[in-house]
Amino acid sequence: MENPVGVFDSGVGGLTVLRELVAALPSERFVYLGDTARVPYGGKSAETVTRYSIEIANHLIRRHDVKLLVVACNTASSLALPTLRKIYKIPVVGMVDPCVRRAAALAGKGGIGIIGTTGTVRSGAYEEAIRAGIPAARVRAIACPLLVSLAEEGWTGNAITRAVVAEYLSPFRADPPDVLILGCTHYPVLKGAIRDFLGEGTVLIDSGEEAARVVDILLSETGARRSGGPGGVEFLVTDDPERFARIGREFFGDFLEGIHRVAL
C-alpha cells in the first residue's frame, strides 16, 4: 500500500520515534507533523491535548490519506489515544502500550521506573497499564520537565545536564529499577547521562524503538506494507520551520529538508 504512515508530536521530540521507524521500515513513506506553534503539551489539560490531537489527526488523514497513525508524543498518548482510536478507522499506535509490554517482559524484583513530562506522569497512564498486566509490580514515576529544554538546547552530556538528571533520579539511587521507561520522546538523546547515573543494571526502554516494532508488525498483519522501493519523509510544522530544522538534527540524526508550514 503506497499511502504514507502519519507521525505526529507536539514538536521535535517525536523525531526520535521517526528515526527508529525509518530505520526499521526503510521502504515506507512517512509524513511527520510537529505542532511547534503549540508546544509543549506536557503542562496542558487533557481536554486541550485531546483537541489538538484530533485536529492533527484530521489533517494527516484527510490531507495525506495516511494508512496508520503514530502518536509520537507521550503526553498525547497518555491523554488522547482512547479518543483517537474511537474516532478513526485506521490503526493508531501510541507510546505507552509498546513500552509497557517490553517492561513487563524485563522487570523483576527491582520494579519499573518511569520518567516523563508533568502531564504524562500526572495522567497515570503508564502505571495503570503496568498494573493491568502485572498487578504486583513495583512502579515509581517521576516527572522530569526540565529535561525537555536541555535536550532541545543540545546539552546532552554536560555538567548541568548531569546535575539535573542526578537531582530528578535521586529517588532511584538507593533502589535502582530493573527497567526505566523513557516516557518522553526527548529523553532518548539524554540516554548517556541517564545511563551514567543509573548504571548498566537498569535497562532503558526507548518508546521509539518499541513503537517501531509494533508498527512493523501491524503493517505486516494488515497487508499494508509498502511493496518496495525507497521510502521517504515529508516534514510538516505549524510554526517556524527554521527552528525545527536546527533543533531537529539532534533528534533525527540527519539534516532535515523540505519542511513545510501548515495551518490546522
Q: What are phi and psi of 156, to 5 degrees?
A: -90, -20
pLDDT given for residue 157 in this prediction: 85
Last residue of a domain, one of 188, 207, 226: 207
Do residue 41 and residue 127 come from a single domain? no
Q: At what angle do helices 207-221 and 96-106 cross, to 10 degrees?
A: 110
Q: What are 218-261's pLDDT values in tens digits?
A: 999 999 999 877 889 999 999 999 999 999 988 998 778 889 99
Q: What is the pTM of this model?
A: 0.93
Do residue 197 and residue 215 come from a single domain? no
CB count within 10 Å of CB 240 equals: 15
Q: What are 44-78's pLDDT values in tens digits?
A: 899 999 999 999 999 999 999 999 999 999 999 99
Indicate which CATH number applies to the domain containing 55.
3.40.50.1860
Q: What are 72-103's pLDDT values in tens digits?
A: 999 999 999 999 999 999 999 999 999 999 99
> What's the domain range around 181?
96-207
The Cα–Cα gap between 191 and 193 comes to 6
Q: What are 180-205's pLDDT values in tens digits?
A: 999 999 999 999 999 999 999 999 99
Counted domains in the chain: 2
The Cα–Cα gap between 204 and 187 comes to 10
pLDDT given for residue 230 in this prediction: 84
Tell me which H or E stretch contains 81: helix 74-87
CA distances 171 to 110, 142, 166, 219, Å, are: 13, 9, 9, 40
- Supply the residues annotated as catalytic: 73, 184
Written as one string, the DSSP assignment of 25-55 is -TT-EEEEEE-TTS---TTS-HHHHHHHHHH
Do residue 128 and residue 88 come from a single domain? no
pLDDT given for residue 16 in this prediction: 95
Last residue of a domain, one of 207, 224, 246: 207
Do residue 128 and residue 214 come from a single domain? no
Last residue of a domain, one of 191, 207, 223: 207
Do residue 140 and residue 152 come from a single domain? yes
Do residue 120 and residue 177 come from a single domain? yes
Q: What are 159-171's pLDDT values in tens digits?
A: 999 999 999 999 9
Average pLDDT value over all residues in the chain? 93
pLDDT given for residue 59 in this prediction: 98
pLDDT given for residue 180 in this prediction: 97
Q: What are 7-17's pLDDT values in tens digits?
A: 999 999 999 99
